[in-house]
């Protein structure tokens, strides 16, 4: 049998790279081919990596035809960038922990490798050592009864605070949480999974705290994790405290203790493993025996996965879902502690996650002209309420813009104002305000009065760092107020130049809109030019939120067709009704059942499924295409949370529906 060889390259020649190099030498399938450095003349490189060719610059290793896989050993802040660039170059990657600075960044990296068909994994070396599987099996077999508590720590004492050192510098994402906190968190989630017969469990609640230094990074930190099966875990980490560094698993019949679980009771060269089982006052010690270099296991696990055509590690290695879950815990931990690295802030995030300037000119998202708006705008608008940091939100905003999207949906109430603030930071940082079309919304219930419009718009513009919006909607209507007073208030903002396009109402009735148009025509005011009501292939039988208006029935469609009033449609894809979350036999989602479940809608869903199968698409793509192919202007508002969801939505643009198909989807 021929033994395959995986040719490794390393980006970044630091201490961890030297450890991985020794692991590759001790591996069964690996060969160290090259190392990329920005300082090829650095003394000692040839001695530290005698087997490897020394390449000048990280880009060189991406172009090297003799390198199959890359171990990324840069400081934390370079992990996502070079992992994405590796995917684009068709290279497999093993990324030193943490895989990225956040779960949002990691998801973007996995998205790049998913599209490239390449392998990517986080290098938690301890996960592949035989000791880790032995711990899992002991817990899963009930050796100590039912697990109640897990305690784990990883902490060491640096000689002192050094603000420029990678372990402290905010610009390098320093501190213990990212550097070593991932170890106890990953092991805790792994053990919780063992109690449920799963590769891992994600906690249902995380509460974290930390002691911060002058850089705003953590010297020492602790967090509590609560799991759905009742387990409570305590995790701690430090770069300025020598913690006991013992994994403790407490069960109803005893406990398991493992010292320095990530080194298997040894060091990087390989420990014998030590698992102490303490029951009834007696201690039984299990050893897994002297092993190869600790890093050889992850090198071989990556090689075996790549040879088998897999894109990720199997358990006990870190799968993509495992890495994402781990980073979500670290994200919450440092958010609770008030840690946002300077490298994540707008002033220091001028480039996209791949380390490049934002590109214009994308054509994946088509654009259109709409009466009253002086710019071409994308046929869909992006909403992004799920993001709470600039670094996380810009990943999606950048991707949408580079695909050709330039229409952004915000509202005064969204995220208590943070959505507007994030968009404003992004528009200013990227310098694309004049190329973008911004929707602003205000006057949400209970503050739905004419005098509120101007006051809230002032706050909106301040958050957006601009002096105008392109489109403005009242978020709700108040039938106790004469419609003319609302028209007057919005017309005044047009005359002041703070609304430079169209305005209208979100969740307004036909009658109210017609009345507003008539008032404007009679009194020489700008007429309302658009609505923003729900519109989808499935009709709402009960609105999602009080005060909302659904406009998908036949009477509404005739009204839109006759007047050609644009509708900026929210929930245009049925909020999951056209995915496998819904179904006649699936009734666990109260909102889906209450809002969408009736036979008329299920008939539409059945037809969307049938057409999607013929087109090689998904039903949700057909549902969005239906909205885009109406005989009146509809601008769907989409709210993807990940790059994968964004790319999935964009597939609808490939579908061309005939009027007959549109009618068939609707009526059968």
In 3-state terms, what secondary structure has residue 581?
Answer: coil
What pLDDT sits at residue 596?
94
End-to-end C-alpha distance for the chain, whole angstroms: 60
What pLDDT sits at residue 1?
44
Residues 6+ apart with CB under 8 A from 308: none
What pLDDT sits at residue 620?
94
CA distance linking residue 299 with residue 239, whole number of Å = 27
What pLDDT sits at residue 269?
83
Q: What is the mean pLDDT of each run of 10 residues along the chain (668 residues)?
A: 85 95 96 96 93 96 98 97 98 98 98 98 95 97 98 97 97 98 98 98 98 98 97 98 97 96 85 92 92 94 98 97 98 98 96 97 95 96 92 97 98 95 98 98 96 98 98 97 98 98 96 98 97 96 89 96 96 90 92 94 96 95 96 95 94 95 95
CA angle 644, 646, 650 (to 5 degrees): 115
Q: Which two tokens stand for residue 115?
A: 């599209």
Q: Which two tokens stand for residue 61?
A: 């290793």
CA angle 649, 633, 476 (to 5 degrees): 85
pTM of the model: 0.95
What pLDDT sits at residue 438?
98
Phi, psi for 538 (deg, rounded to 5): -95, 135
Q: Which of 177, 534, 478, 508 lies closest to 332, judged by CA?
A: 177
């Amino acid at each position: 049998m021929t033994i395959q060889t995986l040719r490794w390259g390393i980006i970044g020649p630091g201490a961890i790279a030297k450890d991985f190099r020794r692991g590759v030498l001790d591996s069964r399938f690996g060969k160290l081919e090259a190392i990329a450095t920005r300082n090829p003349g650095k003394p000692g490189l040839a001695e530290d990596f005698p087997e490897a060719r020394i390449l000048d610059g990280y880009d060189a290793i991406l172009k090297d035809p003799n390198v199959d896989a890359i171990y990324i050993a840069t400081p934390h802040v370079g992990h996502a960038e070079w992992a994405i660039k590796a995917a684009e170059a068709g290279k497999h990657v093993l990324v030193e922990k943490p895989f990225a600075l956040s779960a949002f960044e990691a998801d973007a990296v996995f998205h790049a490798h998913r599209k490239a068909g390449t392998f990517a994994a986080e290098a938690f070396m301890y996960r592949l050592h035989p000791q880790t599987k032995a711990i899992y099996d002991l817990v899963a077999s009930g050796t100590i009864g039912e697990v109640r508590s897990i305690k784990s720590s990883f902490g060491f004492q640096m000689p002192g605070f050094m603000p420029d050192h990678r372990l402290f510098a905010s610009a390098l994402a320093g501190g213990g949480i990212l550097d070593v906190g991932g170890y106890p968190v990953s092991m805790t989630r792994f053990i919780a999974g063992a109690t449920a017969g799963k590769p891992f469990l994600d906690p249902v609640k995380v509460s974290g705290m930390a002691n911060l230094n002058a850089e705003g990074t953590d010297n020492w930190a602790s967090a509590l994790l609560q799991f759905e099966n009742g387990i409570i875990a305590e995790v701690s980490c430090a770069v300025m405290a020598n913690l006991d560094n013992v994994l403790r698993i407490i069960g109803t019949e005893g406990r398991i203790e493992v010292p320095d679980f990530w080194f298997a009771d040894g060091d990087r060269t390989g420990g014998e493993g030590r698992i102490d089982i303490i029951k009834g006052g007696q201690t039984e010690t299990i050893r897994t025996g002297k092993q190869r270099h600790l890093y050889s296991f992850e090198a071989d696990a990556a090689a075996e996965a790549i040879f088998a055509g897999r894109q990720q590690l199997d358990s006990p290695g870190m799968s993509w879902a495992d890495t994402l879950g781990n980073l979500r815990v670290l994200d919450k931990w440092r958010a609770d502690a008030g840690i946002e690295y300077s490298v994540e802030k707008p002033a220091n995030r001028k480039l996209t996650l791949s380390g490049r300037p934002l590109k214009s000119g994308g054509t994946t998202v088509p654009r259109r002209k709409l009466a009253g708006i002086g710019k071409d705008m994308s046929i869909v608008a992006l909403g992004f309420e799920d993001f709470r940091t600039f670094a996380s939100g810009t990943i999606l905003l950048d991707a949408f813009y580079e695909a050709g999207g330039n229409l952004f949906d915000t509202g005064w109430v969204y995220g208590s104002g943070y959505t507007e603030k994030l968009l404003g930071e992004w528009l200013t940082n990227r310098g694309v305000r004049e190329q973008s079309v911004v929707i602003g919304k205000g006057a949400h219930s209970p503050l739905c009065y004419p005098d509120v419009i101007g006051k809230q718009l002032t706050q909106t513009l301040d958050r957006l760092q601009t002096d105008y919006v392109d489109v403005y909607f009242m978020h709700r209507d108040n039938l106790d107020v004469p419609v003319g007073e609302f028209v007057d208030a919005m017309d005044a903002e047009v005359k002041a130049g703070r609304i430079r396009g169209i305005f209208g109402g979100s969740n307004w009735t036909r009658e109210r809109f017609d009345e507003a148009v008539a008032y404007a025509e009679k009194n020489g005011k700008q007429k309302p030019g658009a609505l923003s009501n729900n519109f989808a292939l499935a009709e709402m039988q009960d609105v999602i939120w009080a005060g909302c208006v659904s406009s998908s029935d036949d009477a509404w469609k005739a009204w839109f067709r006759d007047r050609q009033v644009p509708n900026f449609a929210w929930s245009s894809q049925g909020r999951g009704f056209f995915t496998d979350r819904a179904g006649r036999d699936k009734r666990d989602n109260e909102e889906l059942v209450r809002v969408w479940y009736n036979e008329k809608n299920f008939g539409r869903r059945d037809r969307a499924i049938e057409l999607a199968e013929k087109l090689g698409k998904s039903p949700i793509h057909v549902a969005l295409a239906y909205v885009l192919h109406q005989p009146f202007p509809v601008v769907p508002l989409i709210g993807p949370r990940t790059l994968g969801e964004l790319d999935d939505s964009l597939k609808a643009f490939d579908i061309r529906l005939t009027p007959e198909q549109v009618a068939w989807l609707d009526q059968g």
